Amino acid sequence: MIETVVTDNSLIARLIHHLELIYHETPLDITFEQLAQELMVLMRLEPEEDSAPPPHYNPWSQEDVILITYGDSFIPTEGVKEKPLEVLKHFLDEHCEGIINSVHILPFFPFSSDDGFAVIDFSSVNEGLGDWSHIYDIAQRYRLMGDLVINHCSSRSLWFQNFIKGEGPGHDYFFTASPEDDLKDVVRPRTSELLKEVETERGLQHVWCTFSHDQVDLDFTNPEVLKQFVSIIRQYLDMGVRIFRLDAVAFLWKKIGTSCINLEETHLIVRLLRLLIENAEREAVIITETNIPNRENLSYFGNANEAHCVYNFSLPPLLVNTLVTGNCHYLKMWMMSMPPAQNGTTYFNFIASHDGIGLRPVEGLLSDEETDSLIKTMQEFGGRVSWRALDSGEVRPYEINIALYDALQGTTKGPDDFGFQRFVCAHAIMLALEGIPGIYVHSMVGTHNDYDRMENSGHSRAINRHQWHYDEIEAELGSETSSHNRVFKALKKLLKIRQKQPAFHPNATQFTLHLGEAIFGFWRQSRDRTQSIFCITNVSDEAQPLQLSDINLIVTDSWVDLISGESLPEGDAMLTLEPYKTLWISNQVR
């Protein structure tokens, strides 16, 4: 290996420092300098160069919107010989041009379960979806977000088969424990047994399975595992991935006798990966997927040296709860508690995804009674509940599984005629918040609960993972009487307005307004302070009065609602907000 002179500010010096912190309790048969050199070779980096962007640099703007989709959310029309990834690109090019500039394609690798998150081979594209050329084509036109399923892999992977045989890559990649170990504090999102018995060439082993027995946890105390994932990251960068979603990263590092979640070594590995990724590609970012209580989730920002973005997991349950109760109290209290993200970081906002509406992120935010009422309402609207196990043997609700359009079909009083308005209102709030918005493809087209897919799969999450034949969705979006067309047009209008407003930059100033419990409001101001937008929403099913003096509009400016295009009356006028109406009141029209 080539000897390298280490200077205090060199990239290799910084890598060595990270590695010393991560592995200080782990005996290694390699020096930290040698390991740092190997990581740089894998990422094709020069040891003396540190080409990371300056501190607090952010490569995003108000034009950024991420569409969240499976590679086969749209499947070819019968008789058409195309791969689903080709069909997805048709949808993006034909329907999303000018409104969507980024796309999160959920795991597109060969898999054995969990709709892609039990990865068999991290280096290949699932043949049923397409190949790397299709991924690369999409990445040339849209900023591509890909999953780094870093905590575990499939029990059918070559790595795990080598673990059983005791030879080859993977033979020492998996975390094992004993049933006699102190595991009582381990935090998990599932009810299955934590340890899985496996007969190997070395005898009976108990492998660690945070999620399912088909998803076996990797052992990052072995630096060979780290090296494998750095190599995988380099390949994904070459194929066009620019946003890395670190799936289930909170569970990455294990220590017997601890909770095995959010451990310091996990945070240190995120910092190390950010350093490597930023040096390899200035515009690439990391998003941590940590579906955990809000305070713990925010810790993944570090000091602007860990995740560039964290999922705003508390937003979906709080916003849905607000709209079905007609009361924004809990949403407002949460908003006031959220620190502004410093430059170099921002929030990833979403209100629907391929998973359910998580309930752990509202622990300590919603009362038990409020959570129980939300669950009951969602079940009445056709939703299902997924559970997690406590160390006491009890089970607690982990998430609600339901399509967002159906979740917002009514209130705690039952279904009503405001479902469409409520659904659009939810997105108008989300799109105006500090951060980068992500829109689930089935929200974009107003897809309903898919009970057949859920029953056929045996998994509750499948209720919100419908597959559209492309000719069917084309027909719906082309029909003036279709609810899917109506939803798509409404969201498209909001997106077009949003991308022109500097006050909607992901790091623009945000303050919460106090307008009562039926009106939710907040103020955004552009970073150059030239544009203000007051975002005001009636979250109830009854008309609400709004006194303009309550939002303190500057009288020397002319104010316009960006959504309707209507000018606001001068002076201390009284407006009436119809149910679920949103105003984006701005002093500049763009």
50 is in an annotated binding site: no
Is 355 annotated as a binding-site member?
yes
**DSSP labels for 519-551?**
EEEEEEE-TTS--EEEEEEE-SSS-EEEEGGGG
Rounded distance, CA 347 to CA 237, Å?
A: 23
Query: Annotated binding residue at 461?
Result: yes
Helix (H) or strand (E) holding 489: helix 483-498
On whether 417 is known to bind a ligand per the annotation, the reply is: no
390 in a known ligand binding site? no
Residue 245 annotated in ligand binding: yes
Give CA separation, 1 vs 33, 35, 227, in Å.
11, 11, 16
- 557 is annotated as contributing to ligand binding: no
| 8 Å CB contact between 348 and 311 | yes
- Is-contact 70 116, C-beta < 8 A? yes
Q: Residue 305 corresponds to which tokens in the numbers above?
A: 């040296």
What's the rounded Cα separation, in Å, for the pair 85 and 378?
33
Residue ranges of the alpha helices (H) in 363-410? 368-380, 404-407
CB 270 within 8 A of CB 148: no
Task: Report how far Cα 196 is from the mean position of its chain's Cα atoms.
Answer: 29
List, as one string, the DSSP characters of 544-577. Answer: EEEEGGGGT--TTS--EETTT-PBPPSSS-EEEE
Show the tokens assigned to 170.
């993977």
Q: How far apart are the first and last CA of the chain?
A: 58
**514 appears as a binding residue in the annotation:** no
Tell me if 290 sits within 8 A of 311, measured CB to CB: yes
Q: Name the β-bridge partners of 535.
A: 522, 584
Tell me how far apart the alpha carbons of residues 560 and 551 are, in angstroms, rounded to a whole number.
Answer: 14
Q: Could you tell me the two tokens for 462?
A: 């499948």
Considering the candidates 72, 217, 247, 406, report the single residue annotated as catalytic: 247
Cβ-in-10-Å burial (0-12, 13-18, 19+) of 5 comes to exposed
214 is catalytic: no
**Backbone phi, psi, residue 585, to 5°:** -90, 115
Q: 3-state class of 584 per DSSP? A: strand
Residue that is written with structure tokens 């017997």 in the block: 256
C-alpha distances in Å from residue 339, one per residue of 130, 346, 512: 42, 10, 12
Q: How many angstroms separate the Cα of 282 from the Cα of each of 105, 301, 304, 462, 491?
A: 21, 18, 15, 37, 31
Binding site residue list for substrate: 114, 152, 245-247, 354-355, 461
**Active-site annotation, residues:** 247
Which segments are annotated as binding site? 114, 152, 245-247, 354-355, 461
